[in-house]
Chains A and B, each alone.
Chain A
Amino acid sequence: MLSDFSEKIQGLFKKFRNYGKLTDKEIEEICRDIRLLFLESDIALSATKKIVEEIRNRLKTLEFTTETSPGTVVSNIVREELINLLGKPGSIDFSEKPSVIMMVGIQGSGKTTTSAKIANYFATKENKKPLLVGADVRRPAAQLQLEKLSKQIKVPFFTDKDPFSAFEGALKLAKSNGYDLIIVDTAGRTHVDEELLGELKLLNERFKPNNNVLVIDSMMGQEATKVAKAFFETIPLTGAVLTKFDGDARGGAAFSLREVTGIPLIFLGVGEKIQNIEKFDPVRVVNRIIGMGDIEGLIERVSDIKVDISKKPPEEIQKWNFDTFLESMRQIRKMGPLEELLSMIPGFSNIKQMKDMIPDEKQMKRIEAVMLSMTPMERKRPEIIDASRKRRIAKGSGTSIQEVNQLLKQYEMFKKMFKSKNLKKGFKLPNFPIGRI
């Protein structure tokens, strides 16, 4: 996740760390590098200029002591400025009964999916009673898409033949049925389509939603400023959601949006599953961008899954066996792709070699197959596995004897590693074999 940016910016900082003190020439060099880096990250040109100017001013007045390396100082300045630019996270206003969220944006930004995600978020986390409204009558099957999603998350759905009657009907329905949150999914429209922007304006004037949320794709380029501006000038936006943040796009659009409109970001879309939505946190986003990890996100992810305490692996390494391995592996996999989880660990993106050590989903499945092909006794006491048992396990799991051997070897190494005195007490690693088999 965002590792490309991380690597580059870390590389930049490594260069700075060699300097004792910054000269004018060095400041210019740093500013040029940062500028290119930001532009390559699709941060708007205007925002880039502004932020580089801030950084330049701060660098000029800096006095370095012998204790602090300019690299650290510069990295902190860039971090601070990025966080400043992103501003404080926004929120959904619930002061009205029912409260209404009108979702707007260009085609393909992810409005329909995000509508369902937000409904699910408030229904499960804040005990709200949402109603999803399909007001996109343009894209074929858009209403059906939202209806299907609403069934998945068990939230009521309403639609009608045009956006105005859908909106009106939904408001009536909410009053009679006691829904306290109406989420209206509107049709995607380009920011140059005056006719459709006009429709949005009319919808806003007539129904006055207390939340107008812009959905914006994190892969978007320089165009983001124009999109944000056009929607901002059409209706009073109250916040934004940045979607598809689970890819490797740097989310430059977030910075553009803030710079142009000043509206806050509320949520981040971080995956294809309906629960893959997170509250926006500028510190987390910037930290993740510049490779300082996202421990909070990791903790949130972990606390979201229900870990069966009774199946918790034993503290003492001696008692570990393939049963506990299997169980831990399954619990970790519940949290999402391993690579994604590991990228949230601070400093992880710096260790390039580590990336090659992470087994991907396919390999995890193979490892799991090998373990599942063992008898319960073999899982409890791996030392009884002899050549003939290995042959059977390999056959049963559709792998090779070499792969079975490798897993057993890794298991031994892993046990040894934990026995070694060098490890501090309380140090914990994910308890499953890391490595390719």
Chain B
Amino acid sequence: MFLFDKVKEALTRTRRVFSSVVGMDSVNWDEILEKFLLVDVGSDIAQEIIKDAKKRWLSAAPIEIALKEAIESFLPEGKPQLFFTNEHPCVWLLVGVNGSGKTTTCAKLAKYAIEEFKASPLLVAADTFRAAAIDQLKIWGEKLNIDVISQKENSDPAAVVFDGLKAGRSRKRNPIIVDTAGRLHTKDNLMEELKKINRVIGKEIEGEPSEILLVLDASTGLNAVKQAEVFNQSLKITGIILTKLDSSAKGGYVLNITKKFNIPVKFIGVGEGVDDLVPFDKTQYAEGLIP
């Protein structure tokens, strides 16, 4: 119950931006467009949504329903799920720019795996660049009673991952959750490093990583679309985790991302606690935008 309230609270903040839309006698579409822009929906998609909503509205749907349905139609069908099987070790690789919240999300995902799949996950600290990133993950590991595989700072992240996979196999841990260093998508050499990590995983366990999750900060602007594009070019991104949704009325760019690159949002982060990660629900998300 508590968690549900938190999600609702997080989304209400988004909702407030739109609240003045409801009950408008004559619809001011320009004002609606502006409201979309204010939650970082890119202007091209915002215009498309409005076009779609207009059609629905003209066929006698109330404006808030029309908008809600229009938004929903821009998000992929079905409930997003993380791939997990007991047949072989699954690897979930987390990537993203600096400060998006990868390390915290790793811990949250580990907790989720324990609860959802009754699994015994392993954490791999492949962020060997940021000072004390390894320690940060280790502290989470201790709190959750999960092993963390690590090496020294500045060691080769691909080597750490290799160790992690070996350890995961011998200790029979599954899924293996890999935290990587934050990197701006414009740094080619760092993107190459990620590709290498991906190759190492694929060589060691066929078909893995089954999940390559891009962690995006909800307060980021349209640059997030760029991030998704470049990360998706280097690695086939399987899903997005939208973090810090508790802090802001944002994240509207995911509409652009799902439309352009067909990458689903899988989870949202709604707080600093280890339980503050919930599966993305598009109806709830759309409802959150339109009261």
Contact = CB atoms under 8 A, between A and B. Distances in A.
Of the listed residues B99, B192, B244, B249, the one surrounded by the most CB atoms of chain A closer than 10 A to its CB is B99
Q: How large is the interface on B (under 10, 10 to 19, 20 to 34, 35 or more residues)?
A: 35 or more
Contacts of A191: 247-248
A86 B146 CA distance: 48
B38 A45 contact: yes
A48 to B, nearest CB: 9
Contact of B37 (A1, A39, A193, A361): A39
A140 B132 CA distance: 9
A39 B44 CA distance: 11
Contact of A244 (B38, B97, B221, B272): B97
A360 B192 CA distance: 11
A337 B190 CA distance: 12
Nearest to B250: A223
A140 B136 CA distance: 5
Contacts of A108: 98-101, 217, 244
A259 to B, nearest CB: 14
B34 interface: yes
B249 A223 contact: yes
Interface in B135-159: 135-136, 138-140, 153
A362 B129 contact: no
Contacts of A249: 221, 223
A247 B223 contact: yes
Nearest to B226: A248
Contact of B222 (A42, A147, A149, A226): A42
Contacts of B140: 140
A139 interface: yes
Interface stretch (A120-128, A214-222, A384-392, A421-429): A214-222
A4 B186 CA distance: 12
A227 interface: yes
A149 B99 CA distance: 17
A223 B248 contact: yes
A219 B186 contact: no
Given A244-B97, A361-B189, A4 B226 contact: yes
Nearest to A116: B131
B248 A190 contact: yes
Interface string A330-361: 00000001010000000000000000000011
Closest CB pairs A-B (n = 9): A221-B221, A108-B99, A190-B247, A42-B221, A145-B132, A140-B139, A148-B131, A141-B136, A141-B135
Interface of B: 13, 34, 37-40, 42-43, 97-101, 129-133, 135-136, 138-140, 153, 184-189, 192, 217, 219-224, 226-227, 244, 246-250, 253, 272
